[in-house]
Structure 1
Amino acid sequence: MSISKQTSATRMLHPPSLLPSRQVEMETVLQQKIIEATHCVEKQLDAELEKLDNLDISDFEKLREQRLKKLKLLQQQKQNWLTMGHGEYSELHDEKEFFEVSKKSENIVCLFYKDDSPRCKIVDHHLKILARKHIEAKFCKLNVMQCPFLTARLRIKIIPTIALIVNGKTKDYIVGFTDLGNRDDFLTETLEYRISLSGAITFEENLSSENTKKTWLSQVSKPKTIKGPNNSNSDDSDED
């Protein structure tokens, strides 16, 4: 077949007139979907505005009372936390004391440490700061040499290891500095964000927190949650 005949055959298979019409059809469908989505949002906004327009003084008073009630409950909860020793970073001296704390506090951030570990002292510095900021959790530490049974039960091999207990159950571990960028000069906010992934503390969303997230994500490929504490070899073993 000659070149001219091939070109003619190609044109017959793909008529030029059909290509623009197909593109116009796709654009029309897309525009219709955008219009439908816009109308849906407008209806939702109109419904919310109508609710506000229909509110009278008694409704505003009810909303105010509900808000005050929530604030009072929150204040009472904060007072209960402080009574249980939240708001400070304390040392637990044995396993019995650990179990007593576990009965009182639902959320616990506990460092398992050794005296001769420099990295444990680094974690100490950050946890002292976070304990004052996050009274919703009990921050504490426990010397592994004084709690062999608990250390074995939780399968703690790497020091430092932070156990994160949520609603009375061991939810997560931060083993060594692997999840903190494998560096000793990590930010307090980095540790704060990593702890919050377990649900033990609440991480407030703001511009600074977004930067913290980006920094953390750039250092760690993915969060290692709900794992055993034997998955890191970046720090000292308590079996040394």
Structure 2
Amino acid sequence: MDAASLKEKVGQAAAAEVETGMRLGIGTGSTAEAFVRALAVRVGEGLRIVGVPTSERTAALCRDLGVPLATLEEVPELDLTVDGADELDSRLRLVKGGGGALLREKIVAAASARMLVIADASKRVESLGAFPLPIEVNGFGIVASLIAIEKAGSLLGLTGCLALRKIGESPFVTDGGHLIVDASFGRIPDPEALSAALHAIPGVVEHGLFLGLASAALLAGPDGIEHVAPH
């Protein structure tokens, strides 16, 4: 089964878990978009929900497919967020932000009673860090922030390239107007320590380590959909 088919299957499985009346956080990325398409089918069949999108891209797709939307200001407490991940470990600690929406994704996930992660089984890892860690930073003082990130990593034994994300020759700009640094630290033995160190840097707006937020995961593989709980 190819990647697109796996995403479609896991999107359908996640949509099947949505109950009428739910206030939903709706994630960003290709797997989350598969969920939106499956959710739209259920909405067309009479499912009543309201969704809070985590990006302008997701919002546009929801509007195109007729999924009812609200802002987080209008619906500040959510029942469930469904979103993808770039990596997840056995404790359902995540690396997210490959699509550039990590700040809004984390705000929405934190406002939710539960977070359901949807991904293909290849995203499961023993240790986080093979996927470069996205770090959202303020454009002001970017060089100082890069130096501080490098020092924070070094104190934890983490080294590797720090790259400012670009689209062509121009810096990638998030929906919130920030920049993203992709940190290729490699294996991250202590994600909690790295999270605290990055949060201590004034220029860091947020980072892509999602710790203690995911309640469960649906992982699509050749043998079907696996339901995973943290352990």
Give the TM interval when normalised to the shorter protein: under 0.3
Answer 1 or 2: which has greater helix percent. 1
Of structures 1 and 2, the larger Rg is shown by 1
Answer 1 or 2: which has greater strand percent. 2
Structure with larger RCO (C-alpha < 8 A, sep 6+)? 2
